[in-house]
Amino acid sequence: MTTLQRAEAAEHALSQELDRVVVKSVLFTSGERDPRQPVTRPPDDGRLYMMGHDPRLPWMPDKPTLFDFFRLRFGPSAHLLQSARLAMKNGVDEKIVLACLLHDIAIAGFIRSDHGYWSAQLLEPYVDEEVAWGIRYHQALRFFPDESVGYRYPELYLKLFGADYVPEPHIQAAYRYARDHKWYMTSRLITVNDLYSFDPTVQVQLEEFTDVVGRHFRQPKEGLGFDQSPSAHMWRTINWPTRYL
């Protein structure tokens, strides 16, 4: 290949990347459209389908870290940062500070519904079992007061779900199970520090937690998504949410 041909080939590859056909996952649009209907897709006109980095998204490093996901794929994380700072201020164990920093990451970057479970599953290979357990059950515990630690039913939930909302039986069952578990207080402390009316004027930087994350989060050397862990595929999907397969 001559230099000119090589340049043309590179330009062609780039324009193809920018011109890939993107087909949304059923889950991305379910409700906005009837999931039983065939997914509508633009005419491909011979174009290739999205199979990697989506040029509309910021580039992730080849070996992404937890903080790369915070910076490049998650929505605003003031709630997580302020909860972690409150936990630190309250003098809880560092593992619980980490749990507070990560407790809602499914909401921040993946799936909102059943976020405690998704968050725990994303994190399980990289944190203490107790941390992941606490994160899984904080979702259910949020609906149930515990006077012994001063935790009351969140006023925010009254506004969000109405005064007559009653947690469904599977949530009540999860609560009963968690209440009698040896790690109950780990999960409960997440709810105690779960700052739902956080102060928009307070800025907390991710770097405040570099050491806590360094000590308690086992960052894989291959990068999150590329380490063959049981949740690596979930991190890859956050990285490349529009891949065709």
Which residues make up the interface to Fe ion (CB under 5 A)? 104, 194
**Minimum separation from the CB atom of position 79 to Fe ion (A):** 6
**Minimum separation from the CB atom of position 100 to Fe ion (A):** 8
**In the numeric block, which tokens belong to residue 216?**
């308690």
**Minimum separation from the CB atom of position 178 to Fe ion (A):** 14
Residue 196 · residue 72 · CB < 8 Å: no
| Position 188, amino acid | R
Tell me how far CA of residue 135 lies from CA of 121, 124, 183, in angstroms: 9, 10, 11
CB nearer Fe ion, residue 66 or residue 105:
105
Instruction: Please enumerate in sequence order all residues whose Cβ is within 8 A of that of 238, keeping only pairs 6 or more positions apart, or say none.
Output: 69, 73, 109, 110, 225
**In the numeric block, which tokens belong to residue 50?**
């999205």
CB nearer Fe ion, residue 87 or residue 213:
87
**Minimum separation from the CB atom of position 212 to Fe ion (A):** 17
CB nearer Fe ion, residue 104 or residue 124:
104
SS3 49: strand
CB nearer Fe ion, residue 191 or residue 242:
191
**In the numeric block, which tokens belong to residue 98?**
């980490």
30: which DSSP letter?
Answer: B
Residue 98 · residue 217 · CB < 8 Å: yes
CB nearer Fe ion, residue 184 or residue 226:
184
Paired strand residues for 87: none
CB nearer Fe ion, residue 50 or residue 190:
190
In angstroms, the CA 80 to CA 53 distance is 27
For 78, list phi and psi in degrees, rounded to 5.
Answer: -55, -40
**Minimum separation from the CB atom of position 195 to Fe ion (A):** 8
Residue 102 · residue 135 · CB < 8 Å: yes
**Minimum separation from the CB atom of position 142 to Fe ion (A):** 6
**Minimum separation from the CB atom of position 108 to Fe ion (A):** 10
CB nearer Fe ion, residue 79 or residue 243:
79
